[in-house]
Amino acid sequence: MLKRRIESGSRFHREAWLSAALNVLAEEGQAKLRVDKLAADLGVTKGSFYHHFKSRDDFVQKLLDYWSRNYTDRVIKEIGALKATPQERILEMMRLIVRERLDRYDIAFRSWAAQEPSVAELLRKVDARRHVFCRSLFAEMGFEGEELEFRTHAFLAYQVGKGTIFLPQALRGNPERVRWAETFFANPSLPADERLPTEIASSA
């Protein structure tokens, strides 16, 4: 049934390969991205792989493009098109990422990038697009200078790393943690005495 459904449409068939590859990458690592394994998982022949991809390099490039398009470019396009304040767009972006788990492949690609230059190059481009877009939202909120740069970097680091840092079981999935993060990043300003630790503020 799966084989028949996948092979019913050329475009869907290619995306099925790419979607399956993302899941293997996230769950088992890039070493398991083998044609025979993916074909077995999908219930299709290895020959169908070469109908859609010229080579492994072509497959890797299309996988990178697929991830970038669906997990970064789409977010930028949707959030950028909202008729809302920058604070509201930041909130919606955070909620979209959580709701659809759009960050679930980031760590896998970063691990892969450490071993393969072509992946590292694409990752740098993705990070650059994310940085430009998020920085523009924080700039609209009124942040500038070092505070703008730090807030942008902190936001991007939070989005990538929040699922990888150990937390006690009681804190996992706590909706309050999400609300605190939203409050922090969507806050357009903080009182002066809350911007810096006391010892730094007093010496300024």
Higher model confidence: residue 82 or residue 161? 82
* Distance, C-alpha 116 to centroid of its chain: 19
Q: What are the domain boundaries of the chain?
A: 1-53, 55-189
> Of the given ranges (10-14, 54-58, 78-82, 167-171), which has the lowest mean pLDDT?
167-171
pLDDT at 189: 63
Per-residue pLDDT at 106: 93
pLDDT digits (tens, 9 = 90+) for 180-189: 777 788 876 6
More confident residue, 167 or 65: 65
Residue-wise pLDDT for 63-115, tens only, equals 999 999 999 999 999 999 999 999 999 999 999 998 999 999 999 999 999 99
Check if CATH label 1.10.3720.10 holds for domain 55-189.
no
**Considering the entire predicted model, what is its pTM?**
0.78
Residue 155 to residue 152: CA distance in whole angstroms: 5
For 31-56, what is each residue's pLDDT tens digit? 899 998 998 888 888 888 888 899 88
Structural contact between residues 196 and 101, judged by C-beta atoms closer than 8 angstroms: no
Computed over every residue of the chain, the mean pLDDT equals 82
Out of 113-122, 147-156, 165-174, which region has the weakest mean confidence (pLDDT)?
A: 165-174
115-143, pLDDT tens digit by residue? Answer: 999 899 999 999 999 999 999 999 999 99
Q: Which fold has domain 1-53?
A: Arc Repressor Mutant, subunit A (1.10.10)
Q: In one letter, which amino acid is 99?
A: R
Give me 51's structure tokens.
């109908």
Angle CA 172–178–179, to nearest 5: 135
Other C-beta atoms closer than 10 Å to the C-beta of 155 total: 22
pLDDT at 17: 92
